[in-house]
Structure 1
Amino acid sequence: MKKILEVSDLHISFHTFAGEVQAIRGVNFDLFEGETLAIVGESGSGKSVTTKSIMRLLPPDNSEIKKGKILFKDTDIAQATEKQMQKIRGKDISMIFQDPMTSLNPTMTIGKQIMEPLLKHQKLSKDKARERALKLLDLVGIPKPEIRIKQYPHQFSGGMRQRVVIAIALACAPKVLIADEPTTALDVTIQAQILDLMKELQKQIETSIIFITHDLGVVANVADRVAVMYGGKIVEIGTVDEIFYNPQHPYTWGLISSMPSLDSGDEELFVIPGTPPDLLHPPKGDAFAPRNPYAMKIDLEEEPPMFQVSDTHFAATWLLHPDAPKVDPPAAVKERKAIYQAKQAASLKGGQ
């Protein structure tokens, strides 16, 4: 697969009255053509900061890319000027934000808002742009587009507004689409419709998607690969099956154990104890060590490197060191792995 985006050793800080918040501390990942990469983690882990830096949408007054590269085509976005970014934003890289009501301009018709990137980036005539806007509304499943194109955001439901936001993001058929928790503000039924819509549209326009979420249940349905973030770093990355059924980092174990399931009955949900680290004063060793029941002495002293589990699976935990003691993951993680292995064995048997 061809690499379309490369984030390398990215460090981002925010300068506040209290001091320097080291929000992103050496993030590395690649995005390949036509794939969906999900970035998961608790609030404050650095998911949105990382992806907003790709669009260069961080506040210029107090944020700083201190180190690293964001390579897209022949451009290092980390060093790009605002003029260069205006040519990339909306055309090559687009973003769907969390709340559709704040993403749309309440004073402009839906039609004008969809036409705007087409007029700016593709230099279409007004008639051609309107024609394309109607097609986009139809594509994202909005009925009676000829009537709807003249209406304002307040005349749409939450789910329909999110469809409009997707239409705007897809207007110029971007190479990379960043979806920042696009279904959080929607109810479960509408959420499922939006996720199905995004998968369908991805096939049609052949875009690559970075999907940010804290909901692991959503990830299983949309992602090809998953990056788990904690304390401003990626602590584990792999295919969706590797992360869900063979996770290696204790933080990933905690996230998976805290997922509700239909079989859980009256059992209490698992909760990861403690709180995320204070990135004004990042910890010396593994940032997850104070919350990690499997932490060793070295976790408090030295940051773990990324250990390779397979060609596609990497995790930053000292438990993968050859000299580390053997530790069993929690019961919920072992149970998932056993069910997955049984399914794999059954499918292999059926295919013979």
Structure 2
Amino acid sequence: MSKLLEVKDLQISFNTYGGEVQAVRGVSFDLNKGETLAIVGESGSGKSVTTSAIMGLLPKSNTQIKNGEILYKGKDILKFSEKEMQKIRGKEISMVFQDPMSSLNPTMKVGNQIAEGLIKHRGLSKAEAKEKAIELLRKVGIPKPELRVKQYPHQFSGGMRQRVVIAIALACNPEIIIADEPTTALDVTIQAQILELMKEMQKDTGCSIIFITHDLGVVANVADRVAVMYAGKIVEVGTVDDIFYNPKHPYTWGLLGSMPTLDDNESEELYTIPGTPPDLTNPPKGDAFAPRNKYALEIDTMYEPPMFKVSDTHYAATWLLHENAPKVELPDAIKKRIDSFLTKQQGGNKQ
């Protein structure tokens, strides 16, 4: 598969009253044409900051991009001017935000909001853009699009508003869609519909998707590959099967163990990761996850682990993969929870 996007050793800090926040600390990954890459981690892990850098949406006033490259089709877009980014943003790289109400203009009809990009980037007339907007609303599953195109965002439900945002993102047939927690504010049924819609859209258009979420369970049926982020770093990356069937980093174990399943009952305590993420104004020495990791080794408090190769598609940054480390297996309770989750989510199709 050809690489459409390459992020190399990206380091981003923010100047705040409390000091310099090292939000992204040496992140590297790539995105292949036509694939879905999920970036997973708790709030504050650096997921949205990384993708905002790809879109060129970080505030210039207090952001420092201290190192790295973001290569889109071989060109470093970190060096692009705002005018150059405007030609790419929305046309070649689009974004679906978490809260559709804050990303839609409440004073504009949804048809005009979809048409805006079509007129600017594709040179369509107003009449042509309106027809295309109706077609896009129909494609994303909004009934009576001829009527709905004339309505305002407040006249749509939360799930329908998110469909409108997806229609806007798809309008110019972008190469990449970045979906930043697109289903978090929706109920489980609508969430499933939106995820299914995104898969269908990808199949139809061949676009690549970066899917950001704090919930590993959401990506089980969506992603091709998964990058797990913690404290501004990628700590594990692999295919979706690598991550679900052979996770290696204790943080990934924690995220998997925290997934609720249909087998849970009131008397059963849901697994949680102890402690809280570190303060990135003063990142800890060694492995940032060590204070929350009951399997941490002495070396974790002194040296940051490198990315160890598990297979050609699977890498994890944990000293537990060192040849001299004690053998620690995925806890049975977490293994049972993963098996239960996958059986229910995928109808038992996964073996």
TM-score, with length taken from structure 1: 0.95
What letter is aligned with 1:261? T
The DSSP-based 3-state class of the residue aligned with 2:95 is strand
Residue 221 (structure 2) pairs with residue 233 (structure 1):
no
- In structure 2, give the amino acid aligned to 1:49: V
Residue 69 of structure 2 aligns to a residue whose secondary structure is strand
Aligned equivalents of 1:22, 1:341: Cα separation in 2: 35
| Corresponding position of 1:151 | 151
| CA distance in structure 2 between the aligned counterparts of 1:332 and 1:3, rounded to whole angstroms | 38
In structure 1, the partner of 2:294 is 293
> Residue type matched to 1:188 in 2?
V
Give 1:193's aligned residue.
Answer: 193
Name the CA distance, whole Å, in 1 between partners of 2:102 and 2:335: 42
Match of 1:65 in 2: 65
AA aligned to 2:194 is: I
Which residue is 2:218 aligned to? 218
Distance 1:206 1:347, change over 3 A: closer
- Deviation, 1:267, is 1.4
Contact 2:261 2:340 in 1 (8 A): no
Task: Report the AA paired with residue 324 of structure 1.
Answer: A
Change (3 A) 1:328 1:188: same
Find the aligned partners of 1:332 and 1:171 in 2 and give their Cα distance.
45
Q: Deviations over 1:328-352 (max 9, x none)?
A: 221233336778999xxx9999xxx
- Trace 1:86-165 onto structure 2 (pairs within 5 A): 86-165=86-165
- The separation in 1 between residues aligned to 2:341 and 2:248, in whole angstroms, is 16
State whether structure 2 residue 339 is matched by structure 1 residue 317.
Answer: no
CA contact (8 A) 1:245 1:340 kept: no
Measure the CA separation in 2 of the matches of 1:98 and 1:236: 24
3-state SS of the aligned residue for 2:172? coil
Partner of 1:254: 254
**CA distance change for structure 1 residues 37 and 17 in 2, over 3 Å: closer, same or farther?**
same
Structure 1 residues 65 and 263, CA, compared in 2 at 3 Å: closer, same or farther?
same
Letter of the structure 2 residue corresponding to residue 317 of structure 1 = T
User: What is residue 171 of structure 1 aligned with on the other side?
Assistant: 171
- 1:138-197, Cα deviation, whole Å (9 max, x unpaired): 100111111111111111111111100000000001000000000111111111111111
**Partner deviation per Cα, 1:185-212 (whole Å, 9 max, x = no partner):** 1111111111111100110011000000
Residue 11 of structure 1 corresponds to 11
- The alpha-carbon distance between structure 1 residues 6 and 185, as it changes in their structure 2 partners (threshold 3 A), is same
**Distance of 2:78 and 2:113 partners within structure 1:** 28
Relative distance call for 1:338 and 1:35 in structure 2 (3 A) is: same
Deviates more, 1:330-339 or 1:157-166: 330-339
Q: Distance in 1 between matches of 2:349 and 2:147?
A: 49
Please, what TM-score do these two structures have when normalized by structure 2? 0.95
Q: CA RMSD in A?
A: 1.9
Asked whether the 8 Å contact 2:37–2:226 carries over to 1, the reply is: yes
Shift of 1:257: 1.2
CA distance in 2, matches of 1:347, 1:227: 23
Give CA deviations for 1:196-251 in whole Å, capped at 9, x if unaligned.
Answer: 11100110011000000111221102111111000000000001111011100000
Q: Which amino acid aligns with 1:253?
A: W
Q: Offset at 1:24? A: 0.2
Aligned residues of 1:245 and 1:336 also touching (Cα < 8 A) = no
Aligned length: 346
One-letter code aligned to 1:12? I
The question of whether the paired residues in 2 share the 8 Å contact of 1:9 and 1:28 is answered with yes
Identity, in percent, stands at: 72
Measure, in 2, the Cα distance between the counterparts of 1:211 and 1:339.
24
Aligned to 1:85: 85
Deviations 1:78-119 (A, max 9, x none): 221101100000000000000011110011111110000011
**1:262 CA drift (Å):** 2.0
How many angstroms apart in 2 are the aligned matches of 1:99 and 1:44? 18
The whole-number CA distance in structure 1 between the counterparts of 2:106 and 2:148 is 14
Q: What residue in structure 2 maps to residue 274 of structure 1?
A: 275
Contact 1:106/1:153, CA 8 A, preserved across alignment: yes
SS in 2 for 1:66: strand
Rounded Cα–Cα distance in structure 2 between residues aligned with 1:166 and 1:287: 36
